[in-house]
Amino acid sequence: MPLDPVALTADLVRCPSVTPEEGGALVLLERILTEAGFDCRRVDRNGVPNLFARWGRKGANRTFGFNGHTDVVPVGDAAAWTRDPFGGEIADGWLWGRGATDMKSGVAAFVAAAVDFVQETPPDGAVILTITGDEEGDSVDGTTALLDWMATEGEAMTVCLVGEPTCPERLGEMMKIGRRGSMTAFFTARGVQGHSAYPQRAKNPVSAMARLIDRLSSHELDKGTEHFDPSTLAVTTIDTGNPATNVIPALCRATVNIRFNDRHSGASLIRWLEQEAAEVAAETGVEIGLSAKISGESFLTPPGELSELVARAVEAETGLRPEPSTSGGTSDARFVRAHCPVVEFGLVGKTMHQVDERVEVAQIEPLKAIYKRILKDYFT
Ligand SMILES: [Zn+2]
């Protein structure tokens, strides 16, 4: 009996697995996968639940990996939902609930594809599933914990597919072969407080910050690269909190967020920001400090064997050739890429994190069929 990915999605939605709660989701998957002959191991770390499952021999020459998460973001305004966010109800062609698109349907589709595939045509190699309960949270003890554990156990994936939603409108139109990096810089300008009628006796940190922010936001970081859009810088706040009109304050803070392509690294951008801050400080006499947080470096799995394997399977099942894109926010692919080549493909993610999150039921079987075809093509 083939495993029904729609019923499995509904069962998973009924598990209230808001990060970091396991909610029964990984327990359910572990039971299904164990029955299907997978070696399962819970790799929990610091209270975060994670599941590792392998069918086939450890250390096999060819190992295809899937990665996904069963944790979900909070419901938000529960009263605003049309249907129970943890009901897994099917109505009007949609399956409703928190995590329906992000990404319990994706996990259900690759679990069902993997189970059917190894039972119908046992491959010469291994299939590994890494499923985390911490993607929507800090992502510190999730996929990273699984990969750390795999390294100590000598477990490895040759290639990996992350099943996050990737398609903007129609199933099949987009896959992700990389992601931009993300960093946030926090500036603090310290001047000398004074009377606004005598600005020459003060050092104004607000005008110094304005000059710095203007320099940063009018600078073109690059024009884009072969696989990436141009890098962007967004000013997210400038604060003085000064209620007085006749006082020049002593302090001004500002924050900028940068999404960057493969022309830059977190370190190279910090060097640039430090240099700009130092120049403005020299011009104005205002001290400008900087601290930065790098959320992720940019990465790219150059188009090649893996992206071609995925594209061919998607095209065979949907008739659409998926565009290889690097757009969007970050995902756990940023951790997997240090382990092996990684590509992301999944369904349409329009209602992710929204009230009334739901997935079109008609997309789930085709997604399973795509994943199954990828496995079949990979091992033949
Ligand atoms: Zn997700």
Q: How far is 240 from 221, CA to CA, in rounded Å?
A: 27
Helix 266-284 vs helix 205-217: crossing angle, to nearest 10:
140
Q: What distances in angstroms separate CA 367 from CA 115, 308, 359, one per listed residue?
A: 14, 17, 12
* pTM of the predicted protein model: 0.87
Mean pLDDT of 50-57: 98
Predicted pLDDT at 296: 86
Q: How far is the CA of 73 from the centre of ligand 1 (A)?
A: 9
Predicted pLDDT at 348: 96
Q: How far is 310 from 321, CA to CA, in rounded Å?
A: 10
Q: What distances in angstroms separate CA 293 from CA 296, 312, 331, one per listed residue?
A: 9, 38, 17
Predicted pLDDT at 211: 98
Predicted pLDDT at 268: 98
Per DSSP, 79 falls in state: G
Predicted pLDDT at 1: 85
pLDDT single digits (tens) 222-237 = 999 999 999 999 999 9
Cβ(153)–Cβ(52) below 8 Å: no
**Is 102 annotated among the ligand-binding residues?**
yes
**Is 136 annotated among the ligand-binding residues?**
yes
pLDDT single digits (tens) 95-124 = 999 999 999 999 999 999 999 999 999 999
Q: Spot the catalytic one: 22, 30, 71, 317.
A: 71
Q: How many CB atoms lie within 10 A of CB 46?
A: 10
101: nearest Cα among 328, 362, 349 = 349
pLDDT single digits (tens) 170-220 = 999 999 999 999 999 999 999 999 999 999 999 999 999 999 999 999 999
Predicted pLDDT at 248: 97
Q: How far is the CA of 185 from the centre of ligand 1 (A)?
A: 25
State the pLDDT confidence band at 376, using cuts at 50, 70 and 90.
Answer: very high
Q: How far is 117 from 232, CA to CA, in rounded Å?
A: 43
Per DSSP, 230 falls in state: P
For the chain, domain boundaries? 5-179+298-379, 181-296
**Mean pLDDT for the chain?**
96
pLDDT for residue 330 is more than 80:
no
Mean pLDDT of 266-277: 98
Q: How far is the CA of 136 from the centre of ligand 1 (A)?
A: 7
Predicted pLDDT at 360: 97
**Is 353 annotated among the ligand-binding residues?**
yes
Predicted pLDDT at 97: 98
181-296: CATH topology is Alpha-Beta Plaits (3.30.70)
pLDDT single digits (tens) 303-323 = 999 999 999 999 999 999 999
Give the DSSP per-residue string, 240-285.
-----SSEE-SEEEEEEEEEE-TT--HHHHHHHHHHHHHHHHHHH-
**Is 164 annotated among the ligand-binding residues?**
yes
Percentage with pLDDT > 90 across the chain: 97
State the pLDDT confidence band at 295, using cuts at 50, 70 and 90.
Answer: confident
pLDDT single digits (tens) 118-175 = 999 999 999 999 999 999 988 899 999 999 999 999 999 999 999 999 999 999 999 9
5-179+298-379: CATH topology is Aminopeptidase (3.40.630)
Predicted pLDDT at 106: 98
pLDDT for residue 15 is more than 90:
yes
Confirm whether 135 is a catalytic residue.
yes
Q: How far is the CA of 316 from the centre of ligand 1 (A)?
A: 25
Q: Spot the catalytic one: 135, 155, 262, 276.
A: 135
